[in-house]
Amino acid sequence: GGGGGGGRERSFERRGPVDPYDRYGRENRDGREMRPGDWNCPECNFSNFASRTECKRCSTPGGGGGGGGLISTSLSGARGGSSASSSDAKDVRTFTPSASGKSTRTADTLVLDLDGTLLNKECLVTAAVAEALLEASAAGVDVFIATGKARPAAMRAAATALTHGVDLSSFLVGPRTPGVFLQGLDVYGRGGGALYRAKMPEDVVREAFAMVYGGGGGGKKTNPADVALTAFAADACATLRSHALLDELSALYHEPVSEERDDVDALLASVGAGGVQKLLLMASSSAAIDAARPAWEKAFGPPRAEVTQAVSNMLEILPLGNDKARGVATLLAHLGADPARTVAVGDGENDLGMLRLAGCGVAMGNAGDAVKRAADHVLERGNEEDGVAEAVQRFVL
């Protein structure tokens, strides 16, 4: 079941599994610890999950298979809308192969947003979602993140799955995995190598800070009670005035701590030649952001920059011509992945282009109306009811 999409009818043809470990340079699961029943192929020495009856890389028969299906078990515990607990997760550690021993997946690539999608409202990965991602990866699906978060923040958010005994760093988001960060401004490819980086014009940075803190390009600062502005530069954030909102950005959303600088000149000098990549305006309420948005769009919309929104009480300014869709398209091309065989899942305005790019665009149950209209499919569940696990079950495996 589930809601209808926005008028784009697409389907996938099943085809043989693709080896993401070779494609991404992550052989032997990037050093992942083997679990009971896992086996090394006698022909090519590839490390296979216990569920596989033949080698994922060379198809040599071996292993024993067996175990209980992860997604069916995890979702059954979430039908009432609650997330599986960490103690439940300990009982769902093995995989159920298809009757033929072959992968039954219907997509090659799964692209996931984080806030409002993979993460619940506490910005945590639930047990059911963690297990679903583990099973998708085991089935040969290439899973990666496309988020507005900085790369370290995405890693910290994914690490919350360790509470349930699941390590996502070897295949979802880690030092050696591909991914799209900062709304497509920071893209990493095979082996975690830098692939693309965009930079904000300095005049936009100066004017934006002047709009919030007063002065001109580093002049006198004020401390607005209901808004704060920070600049993202790769793995760091910088601002002109500390604020409780920016503390929340770090503590709840896992983002880097916003370091206070004396003025815009000092801020720009602190980020080095790479420059500022994006600006994030955070308010005490969504109403405050809605009230501020027209002025920000007038000042920084095209042809100067891009204005987008991922979280209701935040507004983001990006370099002109950049968004998640561009970042995802760049990464898919780098990996040789077919967009038509890709499932993308998201909930926010900033996900619209990504959902249209993918062969199967899926909106979370908690997504806004515009996102639901643009998607091929709408989930019954939101991020508080393990919606990503539903997406994996319905559209990936």
pLDDT digits (tens, 9 = 90+) for 125-179: 999 999 999 999 999 999 999 999 999 999 999 999 999 999 999 999 999 999 9
The pLDDT of residue 60 is 76
Q: How far is residue 29's CA from residue 171's CA, in Å, rounded to a whole number?
A: 7
> How high is the pLDDT of residue 346?
98
Using pLDDT thresholds of 50, 70 and 90, give the confidence band for residue 48. low
Instruction: Verify cis geometry, omega within 30 degrees of 0, for the bond prior to 302.
Output: no
Mean pLDDT of 352-365: 97
Q: How many residues belong to the chain? A: 397
Q: How far apart are CA 396 and CA 103, in angstroms?
A: 11
How confident is residue 240, by pLDDT bands cut at 50, 70 and 90? very high
**Mean pLDDT computed over 209-224:** 66
User: Angle at which helices 202-213 and 286-300 pack, to 10 degrees?
Assistant: 140
Q: 77 versus 390: which is more confidently predicted?
A: 390
The DSSP bridge pattern shows strands 186-188 and 236-239 to be unpaired
Q: What is the mean pLDDT of residues 187-194?
A: 95
What pLDDT is attached to residue 38?
66
Residue 343, beta-bridge partner list: 110, 360
Report residue 306 as tokens: 């891009």
> For the ranges 83-92, 266-275, 356-365, which has the lowest average pLDDT?
83-92
| Residue whose structure tokens are 């890709």 | 342
Residue predicted with more confidence, 196 or 42: 196
pLDDT of residue 318: 98
Give the pLDDT confidence score for residue 358 in this predicted structure: 97
Give the model's pLDDT for residue 226: 85
For residue 105, what pLDDT band results from cuts at 50, 70 and 90? confident
Q: pLDDT tier at 214 (50, 70, 90 boundaries)?
A: confident
DSSP state, 271?
Answer: H
**Spatial contact of 234 and 186, defined as CB atoms under 8 Å apart:** yes
pLDDT of residue 37: 65
Phi, psi of 71 (to 5 degrees): -70, -45
Question: 70 vs 40, which has greater pLDDT?
Answer: 40
Give CA angle at 146 (387, 333), nearest 5°.
125
Q: What is the pLDDT of residue 167?
A: 95
Read out DSSP for 33-74? PPPTT-EE-TTT--EE-TT-SB-TTT--B--------HHHHH
Instruction: Please determine, for residue 250, whether its predicted confidence score (pLDDT) is greater than 80.
Output: yes
- Is the pLDDT score of 16 beyond 60? no
For residue 65, what pLDDT is reported? Answer: 41
Residue percentage of the chain with pLDDT more than 70: 73
Helix (H) / strand (E) containing 99 = none
Decide if pLDDT at 80 tops 50. Answer: no
Under the banding of pLDDT at 50, 70 and 90, the label for residue 368 is: very high
Q: What is the pLDDT of residue 39?
A: 72
Q: What is the mean pLDDT of residues 211-229?
A: 69
User: In the predicted model, is pLDDT for residue 396 greater than 80?
Assistant: yes
Asked whether the beta carbons of 21 and 140 are under 8 A apart, the reply is no
Q: What is the mean pLDDT of the chain?
A: 82
At 2, is the pLDDT very low, low, confident or very high (cuts 50, 70, 90)? very low
Least confident of 45-49, 249-253, 356-360: 45-49
User: How far apart, in whole angstroms, are the C-alpha atoms of residue 365 and residue 369?
Assistant: 10
- Interval 294-346: pLDDT, tens: 999 999 999 999 999 999 999 999 999 999 999 999 999 999 999 999 999 99
DSSP helix/strand/coil, 96: coil
Return the pLDDT at 43: 77
Percentage of the chain beyond pLDDT 90 is: 69
How far apart are alpha carbons 134 and 89 in whole angstroms? 12
